[in-house]
Amino acid sequence: MPVLPQSFLGKKVYLDGGEKRYYVLKYEESRGKRKIHALLFDREAPVIFAVLDHNGTFLDSFYLSNKTTAESAKAMEEYKKISERKKQHKVTQDDLKDALKPEDEAKMKNENILKHLVDEHLEDIKHLWPSRLIALQNADGKSDDSLILTTLKEAIEQANALKAFKFLLKHRMDSFIPLLAKNIQDYPQLTEDVADYYLSYDRARIVEQFLYKAAAYADIEDPDQIEKLLEQAQKIDHVYYSSVFRHTLIRLLKRVKAETDSSTKDWLNKTINNPSLRKDIVQILKNKVVPAK
């Protein structure tokens, strides 16, 4: 089974085996499936260009002050374009340090810091840029409730969900993928996109979490959306001998009862046309239904 491609943003590279002086990888771009071009920084200045393999092993590296290649020049050109754009944002270095803290611990001297962080996330998502905020979180973050991460969640809700999906994959923010389910009505293809991607890497748990959340937001009157959810749940069960299909169905049936005037039987008859789904649903309804997880 293939391994998920890695992101090394925020990786600290120590010199000569020491534990004091290090560079931080703040820019990376995949080159094919097995190579990554990266820039390592001394504080805010890029000083080293490196080529890594998909496992993070350094294949080549050199100081930018000593050498230039077509590859390093392209990386610097892309980085400078992003950097110039970042200068237009009103996020200072003090703000970035503050952004590593939860809201109740942050100094919040910049009263607009939350908006500025959301705006930066949104721009990174739009352009699929390597995120300096996520790099900072990976390098120095200690809180799962940092301003960086809480504003990322807000940005995900506002962004184009298909772009956000690619952005989260690129940055290996896999735990945020289920949040995309809130946009399932506007982007129904996410169900198949998420399932196809993660099941190809044997990561059914992420798909399961996405399906459960999507069951709360899908259009209950849209047969195509509902069938796609159940088909992916059924696929997981057939491979992993799990009960994702049943728990997804139960979530949907609870919504039918709470949100519509239809009986369960009537709703199923007008919504489910796939014979395989109908067969599994009949079997579940014959058995004692357990509460959803």
Encoded amino acid at 44, one letter: E
Give me 122's structure tokens: 């949104």
pLDDT digits (tens, 9 = 90+) for 142-172: 999 999 999 999 999 999 999 999 999 999 9
Tell me: do 67 and 98 sit in the same domain.
no
Of 16-20, 88-92, 212-216, least confident by mean pLDDT is: 16-20
What is the pLDDT confidence band of residue 90, given thresholds at 50, 70 and 90? Answer: confident
DSSP 41-97: EETTEEEEEEEEETTS-EEEEEETTT---HHHHHHHHHHHHHHHHHTTS---HHHHH
Of 109-113, 159-163, 255-259, least confident by mean pLDDT is: 109-113
Tell me: do 251 and 137 sit in the same domain.
no
Query: How far is the C-alpha of 130 from the C-alpha of 132, rounded, in Å?
Result: 6
Query: How far is the C-alpha of 167 from the C-alpha of 124, rounded, in Å?
Result: 8
Boundary-marking domain end, from 172, 203, 227:
172
Q: Which residue has the higher pLDDT, 288 or 115?
A: 115
| 17, pLDDT greater than 70 | no
Average predicted confidence (pLDDT) for the chain: 93
Containing structural domain, residue 183: 173-293
Judge contact between 147 and 106, C-beta under 8 A: yes
Tell me: do 132 and 94 sit in the same domain.
yes
Tell me: do 181 and 137 sit in the same domain.
no
Query: How far is the C-alpha of 229 from the C-alpha of 252, rounded, in Å?
Result: 10
Look up tokens 């809201």; give the residue.
103
Tell me: do 184 and 273 sit in the same domain.
yes
Q: What percent of the chain has pLDDT over 90?
A: 86
Boundary-marking domain end, from 80, 106, 129:
80
**Closest by Cα among 232, 115, 114, 145 to 181:** 232
| 290, pLDDT greater than 50 | no
Domain count, the chain: 3
A 10 A CB-CB count for 270 gives 11
pLDDT of residue 210: 98
Judge contact between 20 and 146, C-beta under 8 A: no
Q: In the beta sheet, which residues pair with residue 36?
A: 30, 52
Summarize the confidence of residues 123-144 as an average pLDDT. Answer: 96
Tell me: do 181 and 286 sit in the same domain.
yes
Q: In the beta sheet, which residues pair with residue 23?
A: 13
Give me 272's structure tokens: 């489910």
Boundary-marking domain end, from 126, 145, 172:
172
Tell me: do 126 and 177 sit in the same domain.
no
Look up tokens 């129904």; give the residue.
188
Judge contact between 263 and 271, C-beta under 8 A: no
Tell me: do 26 and 68 sit in the same domain.
yes
Judge contact between 214 and 207, C-beta under 8 A: no
What is the pLDDT confidence band of residue 289, given thresholds at 50, 70 and 90? Answer: low
| SS3 at position 68 | coil
What is the pLDDT confidence band of residue 34, given thresholds at 50, 70 and 90? Answer: confident
Judge contact between 256 and 262, C-beta under 8 A: yes
Query: DSSP secondary-structure letter at 292?
Result: P
pLDDT of residue 292: 43
Of 33-37, 191-195, 206-210, least confident by mean pLDDT is: 33-37
What is the pLDDT confidence band of residue 89, given thresholds at 50, 70 and 90? Answer: confident
Q: What percent of the chain has pLDDT over 70?
A: 97
| 182, pLDDT greater than 60 | yes
Tell me: do 112 and 142 sit in the same domain.
yes
User: Structure pTM?
Assistant: 0.93
Summarize the confidence of residues 52-56 as an average pLDDT. Answer: 93
Q: Which residue has the higher pLDDT, 88 or 128?
A: 128
Summarize the confidence of residues 28-57 as an average pLDDT. Answer: 93
Query: How far is the C-alpha of 137 from the C-alpha of 143, rounded, in Å?
Result: 9
Tell me: do 253 and 166 sit in the same domain.
no
Tell me: do 182 and 271 sit in the same domain.
yes
Tell me: do 179 and 253 sit in the same domain.
yes
